[in-house]
Amino acid sequence: MTKEIALTFDDGPWGLTTPRVLDELIAQKIPATFMIWGEHAKQYPELVKRAAAAKLFSFGNHTFSHHSLLEIDEEEIRKELEKTDHIVKELTGEVPKFIRPPFGDIDFNTLKIVNRPIICWSLDTESWNHHDVNQCLERATKAKDGDIILMHDYQEAEAEALPKIIDYLQKNDFIFKTIPDLLGHQLNEEPYIYYSRNKRDKIGFK
Ligand SMILES: [Zn+2]
C-alpha cells in the first residue's frame, strides 16, 4: 500500500547545506516544503530562486528573525511575517500560504493574529539536537502514512542523511508530497494547527 509523507525543511536557505539538499531533491524529483527564515533568504536569495525554478517545492513562512512568536508583541509578529512574505513573494512569485512558527511555539492569541494555517509536525529527525547522520535516519524509519517530518536544511547532518532517508522511505512505499498536496482541501478551510494529514487542532477557532 502506498503511503504519503511530507518532508519539511526549516531555517534555510543556508549557503553550506541548502545546495546539497536541493541537489538531492531535484536529482530525484522529490517534492518537499521549505519553511523560509526571512533573514537567510535575504542573505542567499539565489538558493530560493533555484528552489522555486525546480517547480517541485512549496514554501512556508518561518518568520524573518526566528524569534518565538510568544515572546514578541502583536506588531512585531505582523512585521516578522510581512517581511518574510515580501521576500518569498519576490523570489518565488507567491506569498506563503502557511506558517511554521519558530520552535513550534504558538498559542491562542498568536493564532488569532497570524490567521493562517500553522504547519507543525508529527515526526522530528532532531538533527538540530544530536547533529548525527545515523540518528536522523533512525528517526526517519519511524515514519507513518500522513506524517509531516520536521527536518533542517540548515544542518550538515541532515544534508548528509537525506539521500539515505529518501532511499529508506522509497523502499518502504512512501510517496513524497508538498504540504498543500498532503493536506489538500483542508488547507483552504479556516486556519488550524496541522501536525499530520490526519491530525489537526482547532484551538482558538471554536
Ligand atoms: Zn526554525
Tens of pLDDT, residues 89-114 = 999 999 999 999 999 999 878 888 99
Nearest partner of 116 among 89, 92, 97, 95, judged by Cα: 97
> 154-174 pLDDT, tens per residue?
999 999 999 999 999 999 999
| Active-site residue, from 11, 62, 147, 152 | 152
Give the whole-angstrom CA distance, residue 161 versus residue 81.
Answer: 30
- Domains annotated for the chain, with CATH where assigned, are 3-201 (3.20.20.370)
Q: Return the pLDDT at 118.
A: 93
What would the mean pLDDT of 113-119 be, rounded to a whole number?
92
Give the confidence band of 206 by pLDDT, cuts at 50, 70, 90: very low
**Ligand 1 centroid, distance to 37 Cα (angstroms):** 7
User: Residue 66 C-alpha to ligand 1 middle, in angstroms?
Assistant: 6
- Provide the pLDDT confidence category of residue 203 given band limits of 50, 70 and 90: low
Tens-digit pLDDT profile for residues 19-54: 999 999 999 999 999 999 999 999 999 999 999 999
The rounded distance, in Å, linking the Cα atoms of 188 and 169 is 28
Query: What backbone torsions phi and psi does residue 19 show, to the nearest 5 degrees?
Result: -60, -35
